[in-house]
Chain A
């Protein structure tokens, strides 16, 4: 009798212990870390939930923001965490909720390059990492009247100078002086540019002058107006050679 009671108690204890393990369904919180955030406006989404990433600090000192989606997901549920995007009613334009003036992409490389999609329970912890960078916009224009060779244009010291060769006739190989497209390196939003002639063309010797840009002499700031332009960036540089 005594024995069987003890056995019963043991069985009950075992049952209770097991119940405490498996009782509730396991839920997995979706942890998010976004680095390089300089502006407000990013919204991440997965499994019908939105997670806004707020930042109102100084754009010059980007922040790393950690957040967790409001609700966890259950074991076996599939998640894909992406910036929220909305397609316009006519289906022509897609608006993605990135931070203003920024674009974000999944982090890459060890140790932060984790998959943004998976199945809950696949990994011990769901951790999603994104990296945001400030957008850069094109700085382009036209070189007019170029006959000589060796023209190089600089935009300060941060990027390598750009060499421009004259347009040449297909058969005679003689320079035609026709307009040549000028493509400088893209310029980050809210930074300045100033295009100058680093080396003038020779053979024949010419003098080239830069005009255009926001201030008319090849300089300006890649500002809101440039971002809002139909063709984004600054595309009105003119280098006149004579």
Chain B
């Protein structure tokens, strides 16, 4: 009788000991997708630069390279372990990253339901207008169409994504004047002001 209690006790101790180890020696690899493209609400999601670092339960840092469309943590987790994926650092041109289904108890289903969306920063895009005296000038940056009133000296266009291209051109000349665009194309910098050298010069 006594020995059987002892045996049970040993077995229990073993079980507890194994359970304690369980955390890091599971066989579920935590993974997910990284969204790219224009989201439903019209914002651009992209990972064009390095710098995204993810953590699981505050550790296990995972650096994501530029252009990645998926990720997988190196350390496996066990069934029923809680995981909590968070963003530790974002690339310099990303405003924010949001994580969907990043917190759950691990099983074959939940470990593959994680997705991350990193929204690219936008910046104010204001260009210069010189010598304009009349009405009728229409300037476009692709689908962004702006009417320019007479005597304007600057024009605020729609915001442009950081590191994204812009190409300003005259859609319609003002009455009696001819305008040409200087430095019309370029790549948006990382600031809200002084980020372009576009001049629409009219004479």
Contact = CB atoms under 8 A, between A and B. Distances in A.
A63 interface: no
Contacts of B141: 156-157, 194
26 contacts: A155-B167, A156-B144, A157-B125, A157-B142, A157-B160, A157-B165, A157-B166, A157-B167, A157-B188, A188-B143, A191-B143, A191-B145, A192-B144, A192-B145, A193-B140, A194-B141, A194-B169, A195-B169, A196-B181, A197-B167, A197-B185, A198-B167, A198-B185, A219-B169, A219-B171, A221-B145
A158 B145 CA distance: 12
Interface in B43-76: none
A198 B141 CA distance: 12
- Taking residues whose C-beta sits less than 8 angstroms from the other chain, chain A's interface range is 20 to 34
Contact of B140 (A152, A156, A160, A161): A156
B161 interface: yes
A108 to B, nearest CB: 13
A178 to B, nearest CB: 25
B143 A156 contact: yes
Interface residues of B, number: 25
B157 to A, nearest CB: 9
A154 B167 contact: yes
A219 B170 contact: yes
A233 interface: no
A195 B164 CA distance: 15
Contacts of B145: 191-192, 221
Binding site secondary structure of chain A: strand
Nearest to B159: A157
Contacts of B187: 198
Nearest to B138: A192
Nearest to A191: B143
A20 interface: no
A215 interface: yes
A154 B165 contact: yes
A140 interface: no
Contacts of A152: 165
A192 B142 CA distance: 6
B171 A198 contact: no
A160 B125 CA distance: 17
Given A155-B142, A194-B142, A220-B171, 14 more contacts: A156-B143, A156-B144, A156-B165, A157-B142, A158-B144, A159-B142, A160-B165, A192-B140, A192-B143, A192-B144, A194-B141, A217-B169, A219-B170, A221-B171
B184 interface: yes
A218 interface: yes
A100 to B, nearest CB: 20
